[in-house]
A and B are shown apart, each in its own frame.
Chain A
Amino acid sequence: MHAWTWVLQRISAVILIIAVGLHIGFLHFSNAGEALNYGEIVARLKTPVLIVFDILLLIFGLYHALYGLYSVFLDFDSGKKERVVVLGLLVCVGLGIVGFGIFGLLCTARSL
């Protein structure tokens, strides 16, 4: 792979350290003890900035996760054909999950 994917892995790492920290802090420790409910999620998604935040978290999180998985795969011996197949599979899985996540967020945001 080209170097820019490696650089993007570093950039996503920096973003995730901040974004995952905020995500866990706000969704799991701001109301410690109480389970989140649908109403709170809908109210939260009334703020467009938070939808953008969630979508970015989803994109950078899955990029970082799946590129990490690809790096583990590259540490084993593989042929060019195998690498193309695995990469293609990971791109499809990534796009599918990011797409489903964004779809879920936007549908929930619209059900105000």
Chain B
Amino acid sequence: MPNSHVMSADAFRTRSQMWDATGMWAWVLHRITGLGLVFYIILHTILMAGSLLSGKEDFDSTLSILMGHPVFEFLDILLLGTVLYHGLNGIRILLFDIGIGVRVRTQKDLFWIFMGVGAILWFWSILLKLGW
């Protein structure tokens, strides 16, 4: 297909509103992970500064739960996946903003390459967490 990477204005108007468009899902997930991380960074800062301020005993008992209890270990893995998605998709957005790989086809390829890197990093970190 010649010029398959170039979309006509009409096609763009329709396709960009379709839910099977990769970019649409990438955007939605970036938002959801972003909102989750806003909630997390506020909670994380208050909890860490608060337990540091309340002294050695409180800090150590808080951390032994946060870094020891299976539920929090699971949440930690979810958090890591969230950070990896938001960060790697964010690199794609930054590259787009400085004009690298702006064609639709390249954007899709870049997205899946970053997702591949993210999957590997996520899998690797889970193995590290499990003590391999």
Q: Which one of B3-11, B12-20, B35-43, B103-111 is at the A interface?
A: B35-43
Does the CB pair A36–B67 fall under 8 Å?
Answer: yes
> How near does chain A come to B126, taking the closest CB pair, in angstroms?
11
Does the CB pair B37–A38 fall under 8 Å?
Answer: no
CB contacts (< 8 Å) of B64 on chain A: these are 35
The verdict on B52 contacting chain A, using a C-beta distance below 8 Å, is yes
With both beta carbons as reference points, the residue of chain B lying nearest to A61 in the complex is identified as B41
Assess A17 versus B87: contact at CB under 8 Å? Given A36-B67, A66-B38. yes
> How near does chain A come to B17, taking the closest CB pair, in angstroms?
15
Mark B26-58 against chain A: 1 for CB-CB distance below 8 A, else 0: 000001001101100110011011101101100
> How near does chain A come to B98, taking the closest CB pair, in angstroms?
9
Which residues of B are in contact with A by a Cβ distance under 8 Å?
31, 34-35, 37-38, 41-42, 45-46, 48-50, 52-53, 55-56, 59-60, 63-64, 66-68, 76, 80, 83, 87, 90-91, 93-94, 97, 125, 128-129, 131
CB contacts (< 8 Å) of A103 on chain B: these are 49, 53
Does the CB pair A14–B45 fall under 8 Å?
Answer: no
Does the CB pair A14–B63 fall under 8 Å?
Answer: no
The verdict on A72 contacting chain B, using a C-beta distance below 8 Å, is yes
Determine which of B38, B41, B53, B91 lies in contact with A104 in the assembled complex, contact meaning CB atoms within 8 Å: B53
Determine which of B46, B55, B60, B83 lies in contact with A37 in the assembled complex, contact meaning CB atoms within 8 Å: B60
Q: How far is the CA of A28 from the CA of B35 in the complex (A)?
A: 23
The verdict on A20 contacting chain B, using a C-beta distance below 8 Å, is yes
Assess A58 versus B38: contact at CB under 8 Å? Given A35-B66, A41-B59. no
Determine which of A32, A36, A41, A72 lies in contact with B35 in the assembled complex, contact meaning CB atoms within 8 Å: A72
Does the CB pair A108–B90 fall under 8 Å?
Answer: no
Mark A52-72 against chain B: 1 for CB-CB distance below 8 A, else 0: 000000100110011011001
CB contacts (< 8 Å) of B131 on chain A: these are 32-33
Q: How far is the CA of A6 from the CA of B42 in the complex (A)?
A: 21
A–B complex contacts, Cβ < 8 Å, 21 sampled: A13-B90, A13-B93, A14-B94, A17-B87, A20-B87, A32-B131, A34-B67, A35-B60, A35-B68, A36-B63, A37-B59, A38-B56, A39-B56, A65-B41, A68-B34, A69-B35, A97-B45, A100-B46, A101-B48, A104-B53, A108-B52
